């Protein structure tokens, strides 16, 4: 058994050593050397694939004429229009892919063909992204590798290489501000600052291989992939029909698309808020917005008041963890109400708010009791200290009296 | 009539217990009084705080439940629902810390006043054992509330125990009651804290007090020399009531400090331990373990061919053993004391503990 393994290892080592493509290109300079050097970090090399698997030719031949001979299937540099099909030879082959990455999908090419990139490439536009533009070429890494250009933390930079290029985007009548806008969004903050890799990046909303801008009708569905409850409330709200009739794209109308900022209760204001963009203050909708905002602000205020008093009690050393758990429940109610807002139903929001207010009031009362307890403790301490001080003084007097009595005979004897 | 009854009862007890002999003994017992007398009180203060520990510990036992599912909740119950429960728990925790502080002050005062010298070697040794037991009380009691800090600090502490050469892994397994800190560790530490350690401590404490009684309180060599030069004897005061009254005053002052600390800074409970959660940042042991803890952090992971932590643990073991043997290496063959060497060693050790504890706390 052991000699067999040794032979296999030697054969594998010999096979790698016989990749004359790498041997020769590594000794060249510039663009001819770069692929050979980059390939050292490539996932395909790790899995045993060589240059000839994509470029053809004979990697065992020592003579360049022979190794790069068309007779041996050498293709040379791959044309951009051919790249997706070339990659798909393996990546669309379920049998082959299952041997290396069993859980990976094999429909990337089919997806790509439905994407704007794929359609334009098929129409002969070689400026659009192909596989290698996003995944890199010769140093392709796994998506989960933080150095991969399609890792969630790096994909925005990768997309921005084209989509932040004003000149290039102008050709397609597109803005080039999306990457910068996205970097100001709450999603990027969650991803980059909190390290939450589940937060959406470009591909989460647009798709990756099938990258397409969500259409007006599908925006809510895209956002609803994560914001499920918000979508459900919105679908039942009066806005749903109105937006559909006007051809407006759901969530984007109020929240924007790439530059989605953290939503605040201020959005419900007419003056300077989001609701004011469409509604007058004295309109029915304006009044509803004001009422809902008032309820949210009230609960937020009550929560803050309760938190302050519980903090004060805790800093005084009073155990208030149970009340703090209650307060966390009330915070959940506020969160729930902020989700229910998407229904624009005053009664529905009011139910969440009312429940939260009751819990916040109980937590506040617990804080009041805790502060009373703190005062009782301090009063008790003062009485105890006075009693101890009186005792100490009594002891001191007793000691002094005994010392004086002991000193008196000595004085008399000296006299 | 009533007086006659009391006298009869007294005589009944006298016939059976011989209390008059004790009374006679106490009436003649005296202790020296000089400029360094105040340092004597720290031994008594340590004893007083131990008494408080025992009393409050028994009260906590009425409600505390030593299991991972109930320990935290039972302490929370004590602090929020039980009348004066917060005070009892807070006094217990603060008294534990003050007791260890008082024990350290007592130890260093014995060193600097050279009270360890013959024939008091055994008094010193039993004192060192008592200090070790007090640290054991601190370590085992720290885990009992089963909160995040105590859980992970115990993890770190038992990891250090695993670095003891030869017996380390077995010792850590014995302490933890398994391969890791778990519910088994909690019940085990509870057993150590309320049964094993109190039992041993009571015996060693009685021996220590008996030795103090047998050899009386020592007079510092400098004071002895000064009075000898003056041709006078060191003055003495009656143990009862003069010394007792002074000691009582010290106890009351301690009680006042304890009351202020417990009422104004009640011991926090923190969050319940979650064994599956990652260790929070800044985990550190109680202040009395900070100096060795910080030293171990400074030692490189490998020193020559020895693992850093193992080297650290061995060095601390040797240091503790050397310190425990102080009365033996401090005296010369002619019976005189190497006072300068001992004072220097005491200053060095006290400075090391103070500086490294501060560094361990702030860094």
In this predicted model, what pLDDT tens digit does every residue of A326-338 receive, in sequence order? 999 999 999 999 9
Q: Whole-angstrom Cα distance, residue A259 to residue B305? A: 57
CA distance B189 to B68: 12
**Alpha-carbon distance B78 to B86, whole Å?**
6
A31-37 LR contacts (CB < 8 Å, sep 24+): A34/A138, A35/A137, A35/A138
Q: How confident is the model at residue A18 (pLDDT cuts 50, 70, 90)?
A: low
Q: Looking at per-residue confidence, does B123 or A63 come out higher?
A: B123
CATH number for position B165: 1.20.810.10
Q: What is the residue whose two structure tokens read 């055994």?
A: B122
Closest-CA residue of B relative to A403 is B242
Could you give the number of structural domains in chain A?
A: 2
SS3 B243: helix
Check B245 against A384: CB less than 8 A apart: no
- Confirm whether A146 is domain-assigned: no
SS3 of B175-238: the string is HHCCCCCCHHHHHHHHHHHHHHHHHHHHHHHHHHHHHHHHHCCCCCHHHHHHHHHHCCCCCEEE
B116 vs B218: CA distance, rounded Å: 8
Cα–Cα distance list, A257 to A205, A212, A229, A251 (Å): 10, 14, 19, 8
What phi, psi does B238 have (nearest 5°)? -65, 140
Is B303 strand, coil or helix? strand
Residue A239 maps to a domain:
yes
Q: Is there a domain that residue A27 lies in? A: no
For A102-146, how does the pLDDT look when each residue is reduced to its tens digit (9 = 90+)? 888 899 999 999 999 999 999 999 999 999 999 999 999 999 999
- b/e sequence B95-108, b meaning 16+ C-beta within 10 Å: bbbbbbbbbbbbbb
Residue A316 lies in a domain: yes
- Structural domain includes residue A228: yes
Backbone φ, ψ for residue A74 (5° rounding)? -70, 130
CB B211 within 8 A of CB B171: no
Taking the C-alpha atoms of residue A66 and residue B321, their distance in angstroms, rounded to an integer, is 79
Q: Hey, are the CB atoms on A395 and B256 less than 8 Å from each other?
A: no
Binding-site residues on chain A for chain B (CB distance < 8 A):
317-319, 321-322, 377-378, 380-381, 384-385, 388-389, 391-392, 395-396, 398-399, 402
Specify whether A218 is located in the same domain as A249: yes
* pLDDT tens sequence across B15-65: 898 888 888 888 899 999 988 888 989 999 999 999 999 999 999 999 999
Q: Is residue B74 in a domain?
A: yes
User: Per-residue pLDDT averaged across B309-329, rounded?
Assistant: 94
Domain housing B240: 34-276
Q: What is the mean pLDDT of chain A?
A: 89
CATH of the domain at A294: 1.20.140
B281 pLDDT higher than 60: yes
CB-CB under 8 Å, A317 with B264: yes
How far apart CA A21 and CA A35 sit, in angstroms, is 10
Q: Indicate whether A230 belongs to any domain.
A: yes
B 65-104 residues with CB below 8 A of A?
76, 79-80, 86-87, 90
**A344 and A311, same structural domain?**
yes
**Does a structural domain hold residue B189?**
yes
Nearest in space to A287 (alpha carbons), one of A266, A273, A274, A269: A269
Mean of pLDDT over chain B: 93
| A182 touches A214 (CB < 8 A) | no
User: Cβ B266–A317 below 8 Å, yes or no?
Assistant: yes
The verdict on residue A368 lying in a domain is: yes
Distance CA(B62)–CA(B84), nearest Å, equals 13
Tokens 């004590």 locate to B78
The distance from CA A216 to its chain's CA centroid, rounded to whole angstroms, is 24
| Residues of chain B positioned with their CB less than 8 A from the CB of A380 | 263
Q: Range of A300's domain? A: 284-376
Calpha distance B294→B309 (Å, rounded)? 11
Residue B179 falls inside a structural domain: yes
Using an 8 Å CB-CB cutoff, list chain A residues near B253.
392
Could you tell me if residue A396 is inside a domain?
A: no
CB pair distance less than 8 Å for A388 and B246: no
Total domains present in chain B: 1
Exposed e or buried b per residue across A38-64, where buried means at least 16 C-beta atoms within 10 angstroms of its C-beta: ebeebbbbeeeebbbebbbbbbebeee
DSSP letter for each residue of B89-147: HHHHHHHHHHHHHHHHHHHHHHHHTTTTSTT-HHHHHHHHHHHHHHHHHHHHHHHTT-B
- When pLDDT is averaged across residues B318-327 and rounded to a whole number, the result is 96
pLDDT the model gives residue A7: 43
């Amino acid at each position: 058994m052991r000699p067999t393994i040794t032979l296999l290892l030697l054969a594998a080592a010999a096979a790698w050593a016989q990749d004359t493509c790498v041997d020769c290109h590594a000794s060249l300079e510039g663009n001819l050397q770069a692929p050979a050097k980059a390939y050292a970090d490539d996932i395909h090399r790790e899995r045993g694939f060589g240059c000839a698997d994509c470029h053809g030719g004979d990697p065992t031949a020592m003579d360049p004429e022979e190794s790069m001979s068309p007779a041996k299937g050498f293709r040379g540099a791959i044309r951009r229009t051919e790249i997706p099909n070339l990659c798909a030879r393996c990546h669309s082959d379920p049998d082959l892919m299952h041997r290396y990455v069993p859980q990976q999908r094999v429909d990337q090419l089919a997806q790509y063909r439905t994407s704007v990139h794929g359609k334009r490439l098929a129409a002969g536009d070689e400026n659009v992204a192909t596989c290698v533009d996003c995944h890199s070429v010769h140093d392709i890494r796994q998506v989960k590798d933080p150095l991969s250009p399609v890792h969630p933390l790096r994909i925005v930079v990768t997309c921005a290489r084209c989509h932040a290029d004003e000149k290039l985007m102008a050709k397609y009548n597109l803005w080039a501000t999306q990457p910068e806008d996205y970097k100001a969004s709450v999603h990027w903050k969650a991803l980059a600052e909190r390290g939450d890799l589940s937060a959406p990046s470009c591909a989460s909303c647009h798709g990756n291989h099938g990258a397409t801008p969500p259409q007006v009708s599908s925006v809510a569905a895209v956002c609803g992939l994560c914001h499920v409850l918000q979508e459900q409330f919105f679908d039942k709200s009066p806005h749903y029909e109105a937006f559909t009739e006007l051809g407006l794209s759901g969530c984007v109308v109020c929240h924007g698309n790439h530059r989605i900022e953290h939503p605040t209760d201020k959005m419900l204001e007419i003056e300077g808020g989001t609701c004011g963009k469409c509604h007058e203050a004295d309109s029915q909708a304006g009044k509803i917005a004001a009422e809902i905002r008032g309820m949210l602000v009230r609960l937020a205020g009550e929560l803050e008041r309760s938190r302050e008093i519980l903090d004060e009690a805790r800093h005084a050393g009073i155990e208030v963890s149970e009340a703090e758990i209650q307060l966390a429940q009330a915070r959940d109610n506020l969160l729930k109400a902020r989700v229910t807002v998407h229904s624009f139903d005053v009664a529905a929001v009011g139910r969440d708010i009312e429940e939260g207010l009751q819990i916040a009031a109980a937590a506040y009362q617990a804080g009041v009791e805790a502060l009373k307890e703190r005062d009782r403790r301090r009063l008790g301490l003062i009485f105890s200290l006075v009693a101890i001080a009186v005792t100490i003084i009594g002891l001191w007097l007793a000691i002094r009296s005994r010392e004086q009595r002991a000193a008196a005979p000595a004085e008399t004897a000296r006299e | 009539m009533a007086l006659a009854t009391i006298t009869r009862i007294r005589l009944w007890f006298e016939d059976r217990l011989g209390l008059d002999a004790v009374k006679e003994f106490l009436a003649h017992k005296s202790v020296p009084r000089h400029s360094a007398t105040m340092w004597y009180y720290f031994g008594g203060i340590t004893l007083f705080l131990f008494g408080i520990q025992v009393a409050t510990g028994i009260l906590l036992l009425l409600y505390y439940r030593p299991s991972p599912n109930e320990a935290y909740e039972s302490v929370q119950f004590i602090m929020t629902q039980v009348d004066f429960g917060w005070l009892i728990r807070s006094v217990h925790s603060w008294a534990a810390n003050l007791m260890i502080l008082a024990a350290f002050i007592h130890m260093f005062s014995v060193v600097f006043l050279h009270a360890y010298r013959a024939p008091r070697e055994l008094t010193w040794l039993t004192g060192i054992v008592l200090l070790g037991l007090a640290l054991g009380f601190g370590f085992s009691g720290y885990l009992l509330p089963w909160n995040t800090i105590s859980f992970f600090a115990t993890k770190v502490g038992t990891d250090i125990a695993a670095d003891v050469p030869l017996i380390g892994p077995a010792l850590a397994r014995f302490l933890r009651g398994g391969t890791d800190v778990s519910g088994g560790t909690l019940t085990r530490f509870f057993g150590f804290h309320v049964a094993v350690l109190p039992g041993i401590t009571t015996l060693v404490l009685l021996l220590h007090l008996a030795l103090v009684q047998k050899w009386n309180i020592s007079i510092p060599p400098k004071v002895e020399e000064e009075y000898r030069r003056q041709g006078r004897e060191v003055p003495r005061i009656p143990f009862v009531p003069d010394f007792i009254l002074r000691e009582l005053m010290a106890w009351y002052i301690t009680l006042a400090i304890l009351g202020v600390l417990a009422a104004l800074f009640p011991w926090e409970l923190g969050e319940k331990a979650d064994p599956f959660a990652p260790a929070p940042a800044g985990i550190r042991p109680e202040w009395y373990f900070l100096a060795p803890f910080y030293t171990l952090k400074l030692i490189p992971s490998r020193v020559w061919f020895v693992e850093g932590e193992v080297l650290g643990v061995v060095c601390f073991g040797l240091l503790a053993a050397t310190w425990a043997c102080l009365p033996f290496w401090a005296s010369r063959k002619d019976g005189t004391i190497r006072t300068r060497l001992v004072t220097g060693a005491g200053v060095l050790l006290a400075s090391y503990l103070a500086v490294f504890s501060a560094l361990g706390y702030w860094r």
